[in-house]
Every structure is written in C-alpha cells, then in structure tokens.
Structure 1
Amino acid sequence: MDMGNREKYRGEKKRITVLGSTGSIGTQTLDVIRREPERFEVAALTCGRNVTLLAEQIREFHPSLVCCARKEDADRLAGEFPGIRVVWGEEGLIEAAEADCDLLENSLMGMRGLVPTWHSILAGHDLALANKETLVTGGHIIMDGVNEHGVRLLPVDSEHSAIFQCLQGNEGKPVRRILLTASGGPFRGWTREKLEKVTPEMALRHPNWSMGRKITIDSATMMNKGLEMIEAKWLFGVDIRDIQVLVHPQSILHSAVEFRDTSVIGQMGVPDMRIPISVALGYPDRLEACTEGLDFFGKHSTMTFEQPDRDVFKCLRLAEEASLRGGSYPVVMNAANEVLVQAFLDHRISFTDIMDDNEEVLVHHVSTGEPDLEDIVRIDRETREMVARTYLPKEV
C-alpha cells in the first residue's frame, strides 16, 4: 500500500472530517482529537438521527459543515448554528465527503459508506477507513481509485491497523501469510444447539471490545472476521487463502504478518479502538498514549490461540467462499447479512437464522460478473428487497 509522502503533514494542523461522528468509532475519534487540539481541527461532521449529540459536537469542535439524515433535523440545526453549512440526506453526505479537509475518516455503518468513500477519493482526500463494507463490496473499484488519485488509505480496524504497522519498513518483502486474530466473540466454544437460544441482549455483550450494535452481532456470528479477511485481501494485495484466522480470546495480539523466512512480526496492545484510530490520524507520527499499556506480569500475562470453528460459525466460511467466487457474491452476502442482523436485533429472526439464511442466499445467487459502482448499488438494493421478502416473517 503506497502511503505517499510521509512528510505531508509534519508541522501542520490536520483538518479532519468524520463521517458517522455520533457512532462508536466516531465518538472515540473525537476523543483522540480532543486530546490533541494543537495537532487537529474538525472540518466536517455527519450523523444519522442523533442530532442531539451532533449539536454537542458542533458546540465543542466548530466544524464548517455538518450533515444529518433528515431535512427537518437539518433545518433545526441550521437555525441553531447559523454560521455553519448544514446539509442532509445522501446528497449531503456526498457533499461532506467532498468538503475540504486533510483526512477523512469514514466510520459509517455498513454499505452506506461505499459511495461517500468513492467521492472522498475523487476529491483527493486521504482516507482513514473504519467502514469495512466499502472494500468488501467495492474493493476493486476503491483500490484502483486510491492508486489512480494518489491518496493514502489508512486502516482503522484494529486488525488491519496492526497489519499495516507490521508492514512498515517491510514494503516489497514477500509475505507468506497474514495472521488475522479474532476474539471469538461471546459464544466461543458454543455448540449449534446452544446458539439457537441466543438473544440480541446476549449477543451484544462482547467480552473485550466496545463497538456498535451491528458490528458486535457480526463479531458474535464471526461474519465480522470474514468481512475483515476480504478487507485485508484488498488492503494488502494478498490471496484470501493466505490469510489465517487465529482465535485469540485475550485480544492482545491484534494481528501479525509472517514473512517468507517464517519470521512473524505482530502488533500488541490493550483492546481499545482509540489506539488504531490514533495511528491513522497521527500517521506518520505516533500520538501520546490515550489508554493504559499492557501489563505483561498481570492481567495481560497470557496469550492463547485456537482454530475457528467454521462448522458452527459458518459465516466465516461463507465470506471466504464469496470472496473466492468474486463478482457480485461479496455484494450479495454483505447486503443479506445487514438485513438479517437488523432483523435479529428487532427480534424477528433467531441468531442461527442469520447464518443459515446467509448461506441460502449465496447458494441461490448467480453472479453477474465484476460489478461497477452503479451495479453494486443496484445489486445491494435488490438483494435487500429479496431477503426482506423471502426470509423475514411478515410484520403484523
């Protein structure tokens, strides 16, 4: 991954746009910015419907532009903050992605992050990517755009940040495999029968990480790790068959790279998303610590590793298969998964239905070849409609 001119920001204050500033990653990003006022300023912020929190962020960080989902919320914010440009909807989100900044962090949830990512690349913005679905559905388009427009793409996911850090100083050296770690989620070691009784409340209790609701459910099904495998394939230019998932319950080793000579370089740290966020925001520098360090003689003294159970947690296998088949398979898988996860959170389907229905959707899908951006948006929409019509119980 070409990071371009390493001295680009040295000695300057970076203007940061945060797409999804009221979500889990967005609020933690603002925590990092808050600690470094001499280094960062906020250019633009976007949210969905949490305009109460967005208004608090506006008062603290004074962005030039903000975006929300609904016009009525935008009108209210415009009245409260007359000196700030307020936009709304999908067109407003694109305007925010194109607005002047030095670094855009995309922490939007799900497929919604793809089109803004593309527009930020066209605008020449360096990108801190926390939206894995961008690369899962449109990796071939995004990576071509990154290379063509000469922007930096800095990963924010803890695992991909770890891999990125392991590769620093080793660019061009042959990689034997990527070791992608997974906590195993709250149901590590459970049987299929036990999983059938899982409730949303149980699935949302992740043992290590504080994350948004959708990604927490994906972690519980291990779909999140499958999506991360596809993301790593695109970010680091490796065959997905050369990515090995290690279940590592302690979440101390965040991922590693094994080189041709079998040397393994890994990145360790406490499980706190502010660390990979600070790596992306501060690059090429490292920021002051925002959390405690590892306690090698106390609570962080043990690390264990296990094979993932691809039979019980078959979403991991489904993601690998979708990536290997290529074409529109990853788009369809991602769209189906987003609909099914939300249905589970709404108590409309069971936990195991997420995995079973994802498999059924992929079994019956016929790929349309390698899609362009318009194709991806269309296939995503059609898949969501089909899944809602075919796999979800009718609402009374």
Structure 2
Amino acid sequence: MKRVTILGSAGSIGRQTLDVISRMRDEFSVYGLATLNEVEVLVRQIEDFRPDVVAIGDKSISNELREALRENTPEILSGDEGVIELASRENADIVVNAIVGAAALKPSLAAIRPGTRLCSANKESLVIAGHLIMPRVAEVGAELIPIDSEHSALLQASLAGRYDEIKRLILTASGGPFHGKNIDFETVTVNDALKHPNWAMGAKITVDSATMMNKGLEVIEAHWLFDIPSDRIDVLVHPESIIHSIVEFVDGSQIAQAGLPDMRLPIQYALTYPDRLPGAVPSLNLAEVGQLNFSEPDYRRFPCLLIAYDALDAGGSAPCAMNAANEAAVRLFLEGQISFAEIPRLLNRALTKHAVIPKPTIDDILAINKEVFEETVRSVE
C-alpha cells in the first residue's frame, strides 16, 4: 500500500483525489493533508481518512483546527513552513500538489526526493521554475507525473514511441465559455467567466480557461515536462473535451488519448502509473458523443495564449513575470476591480516592463513573483 500526501486537499483537485483514494483503499492510504484555511473541510477529511499529519497554511486559525478535532488528533503543522515540511516528509510515497498558483513552488521542490513520486496538478511551478524543477527531478531520481488532463494525455500517448520519434505535441483546448460566441469582453461578468462548458474546476483556473491563458500555461508546462521547443507545441480547439491531447510522431502517425472530461481519470493514472486499475469514471461511448469538432485558436480574441508563447520564447524569468501578472489580474477581475478585457492588457504591460533574467535563481523567482504581482495590483488602484 502506498501512502499519499495531498497539498491543497480542500480544493477541487484535492477533493477529487480523495474521492479516487476512497475507491482504492486497498492500494492507497492518506499520510498527510494540507489546506490554506478550510478548517471545516479539513476536519471532515481527517475524520474520513485518518491522516497522520495535517498542515494549515494560515497560522492564525491553527488553534481553531485543534479545537475542532475532538479525538484521534493528527500531528498539526501550520504556516507556509508547515506545508513545506509536510511535503518534505519521507513517510509519503506520493505527494499530490494541488495548491493553486506560484505558492506551490516551494512545496513542489520540497517533495522532490529520491524514490518519491510528485503528482503535480500545479502548472505554475513548472511555468516559473521549470529550469530548476526538472533537473532536480533527474538528479535525485524522483518521479514527476502530471495530473493536468492534457499532460497526462501527452504522457500516455508518448509511450507509443521513443522520445526521438516525437514530431510535435498537440494540446487540445475546450475554448472556454466564450468560444464561438460574439461577446463584448468589456461586458463579461465574473459569473459569465466561471461557467465552463465541460470541466468542474476552481475559480482561478476557470477564468484562465476563459482567457485561454490556461492553455498558454500548459504550453510552457509541456515544454518543460517533455523537453520540446515551443515551435513543436501546438494548440487545437476541441469544444467537446473528449480528446485530451495528441502526440504526432515523425512517420505522420498521431496518437490521441480520449476519455470523458473527468479529472478523476488523470488523477488515478498519476497515482497508479504505470499500472491501470478499474476506477470511478464511466467508459467513453463515442457513438453517444456522435461528433467531435476541431479548429485553430483565435489569437486575436484570446491574446493570452500568444502572450504565453512569447514569454516562453523570451525565456529566463519572463514566464514568471507573466504568471505573476496573470495571478494578480485574475484576482482583480474576480474582485470586480477590472474588466475581463483588461486581463491581457495587464499581462502585456508587465512583460513590457520586465527586464528578463536569463537564469533566475529561486530567490530571483520569488522576488519577481512578489514584485510583479504587487505592481500589477497597484497599477489599477
């Protein structure tokens, strides 16, 4: 039996990971759980899964957690350092990082240990520090298995050939709630942007999907995971979200991974890789789906995707600056302080002002992330 730590257990991916584990209790047990401040959710998870250790990111409510636990109290860690310590504990065979945003970087690095598998649902860590993470994974002999449905699909499809036989990677994108619709983006509301047609996700990633920045982040993530340059990574809009991604090989063959749009499928694959086990997700019935559609992205209406390609090509600290500006812009939009159309404008502004550092250290990355985030927020005050 493998022991699993879940960082971000109260979020969408964290809850779905626990759902997968609940159906596979002969294969997995929960060693640790971490959340920022969702005490009530964490208490229920502790009662259901009996972890040995939990971490609450917000130190100010750690006592609230202790008071809420009447019996069978696990070890409780608190603060950012508590989350990082939990990630570094060697007791877990698998660490699932489902923390949203750049805050996941230090826990990701802490989880990379000899013989440990990091199942990452956090694309931002690779976006801002792929040049640090991937060499470390190779150096210590750890595993990094992606949970993103697209990168899970690329991993599965890539196994059909050798690395040197891969011609290009094709990431599919639903297009978000505004694909094919004649909508004035200046008038888009938060509720409009949060109505994803296919996937149940958290607010930040759902807005990223609406701007197509999510796909831009995934392009950068794919670059680091598979060591493929940007000119060999394409995006294809596929509204049904049935084909999750495609690998094209040098002989012209394209291998696609298909399945229902349910995050439990890539979560389970990341946990059981390279094995496959019966799971909770129903089988795909293509006859019922009936029709699959594909089209090129509209870079004019969704400039965030092109901004991400530009940041990847600029290299160094540019993706970090872009990501920080995007995190700030999405928060501002969700708080009603800027329009939906303002998001790419803030990203362009941040990248124009940013002086790229070719090989940023972890300290550089954290400083840039903080500086660009705060400057983006100040720019609209």
Q: 2:243 aligns with which of 253, 260, 284?
A: 253
The amino acid that maps onto 1:285 is: D
**Structure 1, 56-65 or 76-85: larger mean CA deviation:** 76-85
Deviation digits for residues 178-214 of structure 1, max 9, x if unmatched? 01000000001245x6111100000000000000100
User: What does residue 140 of structure 2 align with?
Assistant: 149
2:39 to 51, 58, 67: 51
Counting only pairs closer than 5 Å after superposition, residues 124-143 of structure 1 correspond to structure 2 as 125-143=116-134
1:70, CA displacement in angstroms?
2.3
Distance 2:228 2:239 in 1: 25
Aligned match of 2:109:
118
1:282-339: CA deviation from partner (whole Å, max 9, x where unpaired): 11211213122212222x1211100001111000000000000011110000000001
**Is 103-112 or 74-83 further displaced after alignment?**
74-83
Correspondence for 2:217 among 201, 204, 227? 227
Percent of pairs identical after alignment? 46
Q: Secondary structure at the match of 1:186?
A: coil
Show the counterpart of 1:26: 14
Deviation of the 1:25 alpha carbon = 0.3
1:328 correspondence with 2:317: yes
Tell whether 2:64 aligns with 1:76.
yes
- Amino acid aligned to 1:69: G
How is 1:1-396 mapped onto 2 (pairs within 5 angstroms)? 13-79=1-67, 80=69, 81=71, 83-99=73-89, 100-122=91-113, 125-191=116-182, 194-298=184-288, 300-390=289-379, 392-393=380-381
Q: 1:190 to 1:357 in 2, by over 3 A?
A: farther
TM-score, normalised by the number of residues in structure 2: 0.97
How far did residue 47 of structure 1 move?
A: 0.5
Runs of 4+ in 1 over 4 A off after TM superposition: none
Deviations 1:30-66 (A, max 9, x none): 0000001111000100011111000000011011110
How big is each residue's C-alpha offset from its partner over 1:97-137, in whole Å with a ceiling of 9 and x where there is no partner? 01220000000000011110001114652100100001000
- Residues 57 and 78 in structure 2, CA contact (< 8 A), matched pair in contact too: yes
Per-residue CA deviation, residues 131-189 of structure 1 (Å, 9 max, x unaligned), is: 00010000010000000011111010000000000112423342111010000000012
Query: Contact 1:183 / 1:247 at 8 angstroms: preserved in 2?
Result: yes
Q: CA deviation at 1:73?
A: 2.4
SS in 2 for 1:205: coil
Deviates more, 1:121-130 or 1:97-106: 121-130
Match of 2:178, SS?
A: coil
Q: Return the letter of the residue paired with 1:167.
A: S
In structure 2, what is the Cα distance between the partners aligned to 1:112 and 1:292?
34
Contact 1:78 1:84 (C-alpha < 8 Å) held by counterparts: no
RMSD: 1.2
Separation (CA, whole Å) in 1 of partners of 2:195 and 2:160: 38
Q: How far has the Cα of 1:382 moved from its partner? A: 0.8
Aligned equivalents of 1:329, 1:72: Cα separation in 2 = 34
Distance of 1:182 and 1:32 partners within structure 2? 25
Counterpart of 2:112 in 1: which secondary structure?
helix
- Conserved? CA contact 1:29–1:277, under 8 Å: yes
Aligned equivalents of 2:354, 2:21: Cα separation in 1? 44
The alignment partner of 2:3 has SS state of strand
Contact 2:97 2:104 in 1 (8 A): yes
Q: Distance in 2 between matches of 1:115 and 1:336?
A: 19
**How many equivalent pairs are there?**
378
**What is the SS of the residue equivalent to 2:256?**
strand
Distance 1:329 1:189 in 2: 30
The answer (yes or no) to whether the contact 1:98–1:123 under 8 Å persists in 2 is: no
Tell me, which stretches of 5 or more residues in structure 1 are unaligned? 1-12
